[in-house]
């Protein structure tokens, strides 16, 4: 499993992703065991959306300073997006109805707008061909 962190303003919630329409999926389910989770199930993989407000505590001091400089939100909300493949991730992020005002922390030191992240995914996909 691979993951990225979506960072948005105080309007970002799991409901943002629960209400989205996803083409060519098997199912979208809200799981409410101990933590809330949205599961988007495709024939060839999946995506999980988890609301993780405490993840800000996991940022090291340098990373937190970078986050504060880049992200324009006073009270950022965090959604961890776990995905089974970059192709599935690309399907989700390229959707017209995917929120555009989010930042992506790729856990490799980059925090960029979702559009810039999608551009990098597209470049990776083209190199892979």
Look up the domain containing 117 and give its range: 2-128
Percent of the chain at pLDDT exceeding 90: 44
The answer to whether the CB of 7 falls within 8 A of the CB of 78 is yes
pLDDT for res 74:
86
Would the pLDDT of 70 be above 90? no
Q: What is the pLDDT of residues 93-120, one digit of tens each?
A: 999 999 999 999 987 778 999 999 999 8
In this prediction, residue 128 has a pLDDT band, given cuts at 50, 70 and 90, of low
Q: What is the CA radius of gyration of the chain?
A: 14
Annotate 44-98 with DSSP letters as a single string. Answer: TEEEEEEE-GGGGGGS-HHHHHHHHHH---SS-EEEEEEES-HHHHHHHHTSTTS
* Closest alpha carbon to 62 in 70, 54, 73: 70
Looking at the predicted structure, is the pLDDT value of residue 18 above 70? Answer: yes
pLDDT digits (tens, 9 = 90+) for 24-33: 888 788 777 6
Number of domains the chain is built from: 1
């Amino acid at each position: 499993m691979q993951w990225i962190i979506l960072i948005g303003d105080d309007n970002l919630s799991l409901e943002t992703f629960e209400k989205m329409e996803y083409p060519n999926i098997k199912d979208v389910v809200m799981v409410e065991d101990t933590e809330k989770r949205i599961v988007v199930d495709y024939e060839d993989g999946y995506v999980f959306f988890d609301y993780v407000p405490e993840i800000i505590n996991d940022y090291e001091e340098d990373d937190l300073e970078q986050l504060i400089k880049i992200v324009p939100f006073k009270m950022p909300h965090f959604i961890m997006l776990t995905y089974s493949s970059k192709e599935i991730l690309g399907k989700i992020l390229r959707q017209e109805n995917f929120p555009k005002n989010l930042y992506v922390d790729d856990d490799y030191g980059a925090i960029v707008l979702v559009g810039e992240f999608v551009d990098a995914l597209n470049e990776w996909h083209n190199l892979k061909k």
